[in-house]
C-alpha cells in the first residue's frame, strides 16, 4: 500500500495522517483528564449575528496560524477567518445571490491551497439547487465552480455534505450524499480546475446496494491516486455502511461492511472521513454499534487493514453515564499525531450541566495501546459558555494543540471556536 497524501491538511504545519504506526486492539480502558481548554471566539457577538452563528463544520489552518471555517447562521451561512489574536472576519455570506445561486448551508470543512484560496461545498443552492463546489480567493472573489443537480434526474449528484480534497494538479474530489443514477444513493465526483465535473462512481449500483450508499463523509487519497471513504448505508444485508476504495480507473472495492458481527459489535453507520497511516491502515469512527451501554450501540473507533480486516479500537459509552463520550456523528473526523495517537470528538454525552444527558459532547484521545482519555467535556461552564454539540472535526498545530468548533453554546448561545492544549 502506498503512502497517503497529506491532502486533508494542505497548508497545516502538522499533517494528521502521516505515520507508519498501528494501534493495539481492544481499548476498553478509559481515563478522564481535562486539557487546557480555551474558547477563542463566541459567535453572534454582533447585532443580527452578522459575524455568523452555529458552526457545524471543522476548521482549516494556514501557515500563519489563521483559522477558517463556516457557520450555518444568517441567511444561508458564512465563511469566516479567525486570526491568532482572536479577530474574526466574515469573508463571505452565502445566499447573497438571487435564489441562492451562490449556494447555501455549508456543512463540510474547507481546504486551503498554497495561494490562500479556500475551497468547499454547500449542501443546497446553486443553479441546480442541489448544492455547489465553490472557491473563495484571498481578495474576496467568490466563484461557484460547479452546481449539482445540473443534469437530468441529478445524475451528476446532489447535496454534498462533506468537504473536499485536492490533488497536485488542482483537481478537487468529494462525495454527494444524494443524486446519481442508482436510487439517488450518492456519488464520488471530481471537479477539474476549469469546473468540469466527472462522476467517478455512483453508489448503489449493485443489487441491494452491497457497494454502499449515501456517503456523508469526505475522501482521502494515496499517492497512487486511490480514493478511500465511508458510506453511511448499504454494504451487507444489514445496510449499516461500508469502508470503500475507489481506484483511478473507477473500480470500487468494499473493504469492509459494518454490522457484520452480532449486535453490530463491530460498529455501524460511519459518517466521518478516514485517516491512513504509512502502512495503509485506515482509521475512522462509526456513529452507532459497538459494545457501549446505549441501545443500538454508542459508536466506535475502528481500524481497517489493507486486507479488509476490521478491529474495534474503542467502544464509546464504556463508562457509567457515558462520561467517555458517545455518538461520534457527522464530520467528527479523527486526526493522528506524530506518535500514532488518535484525537476526535463525540457529539453527545460527557459530563453535562445543561440538564440533559443527551447533549454536550467530548474531546478524546485514543492512545496507541487503545486506552481512551477524555481531554474535555463540553458544557463544563455555567450556561455552557464553553460550547456544546461539536459536529466538526479537529485540526492540530505544530505544538500539538487542537482546534475545533462547537455548534451551540458560548457567550451568545450560537457556537464557539476553541483550542485545547
pLDDT at 136: 98
Distances (CA, A) of 419 to 82, 365, 410: 12, 15, 13
Mean pLDDT of 266-291: 96
Closest CA to 116 of 136, 93, 92, 142: 136
Cα 329 to Cα 107: distance, rounded to the nearest angstrom: 13
CATH code, domain carrying 61: 2.130.10.10
Residue 271, in any domain of the structure: yes
pLDDT at 140: 97
> What contacts 246, CB < 8 A, 6 or more positions away?
188, 200, 201, 226, 227, 228, 229, 252, 253
Q: Are 245 and 276 in contact (CB under 8 A)?
A: no
pLDDT at 353: 53
Cα 237 to Cα 6: distance, rounded to the nearest angstrom: 34
Residue 19, in any domain of the structure: no
Closest CA to 60 of 397, 398, 366: 397
Residue 16, in any domain of the structure: no
- Taking only the tens place, the pLDDT of each residue in 104-128 is 999 999 999 999 999 999 999 999 9
Does 34 score more than 80 pLDDT?
no
Which tops the pLDDT comparison, 18 or 74?
A: 74
pLDDT at 20: 28
- Taking only the tens place, the pLDDT of each residue in 311-370 is 999 999 998 888 899 999 888 899 999 999 999 999 987 666 544 545 689 999 999 888
Residue 376, in any domain of the structure: yes
Residue 13, in any domain of the structure: no
Does 11 score more than 70 pLDDT?
no
Does 24 score more than 80 pLDDT?
no
- pLDDT above 90 covers a percentage of the chain that reads 81
Does 263 score more than 80 pLDDT?
yes
Residue 2, in any domain of the structure: no
Q: Are 45 and 91 in contact (CB under 8 A)?
A: no
pLDDT at 35: 63
Closest CA to 357 of 397, 337, 327: 327
Mean pLDDT of 248-255: 97
pLDDT band (50, 70, 90) for residue 22: very low
Residue 17, in any domain of the structure: no
Q: Are 253 and 244 in contact (CB under 8 A)?
A: yes
Q: Are 119 and 110 in contact (CB under 8 A)?
A: yes
Residue 175, in any domain of the structure: yes
Which residue range is the domain that position 189 belongs to?
30-420
Does 1 score more than 80 pLDDT?
no
- Taking only the tens place, the pLDDT of each residue in 206-217 is 999 999 999 999
Least confidently predicted of 13-22, 135-144, 282-291, 358-367:
13-22
Total number of domains in the chain? 1
Mean pLDDT of 57-67: 96
Does 168 score more than 80 pLDDT?
yes
Amino acid at each position: 500500500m502506498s503512502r497517503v497524501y497529506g491532502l486533508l491538511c494542505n497548508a497545516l504545519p502538522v499533517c494528521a495522517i502521516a505515520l507508519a504506526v498501528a494501534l493495539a486492539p481492544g481499548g476498553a480502558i478509559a481515563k478522564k483528564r481535562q486539557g487546557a481548554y480555551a474558547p477563542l471566539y463566541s459567535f453572534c457577538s454582533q447585532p443580527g449575528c452578522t459575524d455568523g452563528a452555529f458552526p457545524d463544520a471543522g476548521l482549516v489552518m494556514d501557515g500563519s496560524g489563521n483559522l477558517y471555517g463556516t457557520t450555518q447562521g444568517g441567511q444561508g451561512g458564512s465563511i469566516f477567518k479567525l486570526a491568532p489574536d482572536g479577530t474574526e472576519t466574515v469573508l463571505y455570506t452565502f445566499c447573497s445571490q438571487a435564489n441562492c445561486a451562490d449556494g447555501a448551508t455549508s456543512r463540510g470543512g474547507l481546504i486551503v491551497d498554497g495561494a490562500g484560496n479556500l475551497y468547499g461545498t454547500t449542501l443546497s443552492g446553486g443553479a441546480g439547487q442541489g448544492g455547489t463546489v465553490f472557491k473563495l480567493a484571498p481578495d474576496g472573489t467568490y466563484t461557484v465552480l460547479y452546481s449539482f443537480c445540473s443534469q437530468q434526474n441529478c445524475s451528476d449528484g446532489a447535496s454534498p455534505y462533506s468537504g473536499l480534497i485536492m490533488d497536485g494538479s488542482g483537481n478537487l474530489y468529494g462525495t454527494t450524499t444524494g443524486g446519481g443514477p442508482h436510487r439517488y444513493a450518492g456519488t464520488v465526483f471530481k471537479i477539474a480546475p476549469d469546473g468540469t465535473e466527472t462522476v467517478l462512481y455512483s453508489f448503489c449500483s449493485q443489487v441491494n446496494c452491497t457497494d454502499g450508499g449515501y456517503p456523508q463523509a469526505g475522501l482521502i487519497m494515496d499517492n497512487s491516486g486511490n480514493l478511500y471513504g465511508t458510506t453511511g448505508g448499504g454494504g451487507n444485508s444489514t445496510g449499516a455502511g461500508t469502508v470503500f476504495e475507489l481506484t483511478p480507473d473507477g473500480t470500487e472495492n468494499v473493504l469492509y461492511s459494518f454490522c457484520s458481527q452480532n449486535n453490530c459489535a463491530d460498529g455501524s453507520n460511519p459518517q466521518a472521513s478516514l485517516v491512513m497511516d504509512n502502512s495503509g491502515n485506515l482509521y475512522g469512527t462509526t456513529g452507532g454499534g459497538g459494545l457501549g451501554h446505549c441501545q443500538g450501540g454508542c459508536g466506535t473507533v475502528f481500524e481497517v487493514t489493507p486486507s479488509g480486516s476490521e478491529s474495534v479500537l474503542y467502544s464509546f459509552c464504556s463508562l457509567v453515564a457515558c462520561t467517555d463520550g458517545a455518538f461520534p456523528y457527522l464530520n467528527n473526523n479523527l486526526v493522528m499525531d506524530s506518535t500514532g495517537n488518535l484525537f476526535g470528538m463525540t457529539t453527545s454525552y460527557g459530563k453535562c450541566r445543561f440538564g440533559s444527558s443527551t447533549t454536550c459532547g467530548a474531546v478524546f484521545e485514543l492512545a496507541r495501546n487503545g486506552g481512551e482519555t477524555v481531554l474535555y467535556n463540553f458544557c463544563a461552564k455555567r450556561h455552557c459558555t464553553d460550547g456544546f454539540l461539536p459536529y466538526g472535526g479537529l485540526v492540530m498545530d505544530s505544538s500539538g494543540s487542537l482546534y475545533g468548533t462547537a455548534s451551540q453554546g458560548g457567550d451568545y448561545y450560537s457556537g464557539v471556536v476553541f483550542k485545547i492544549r
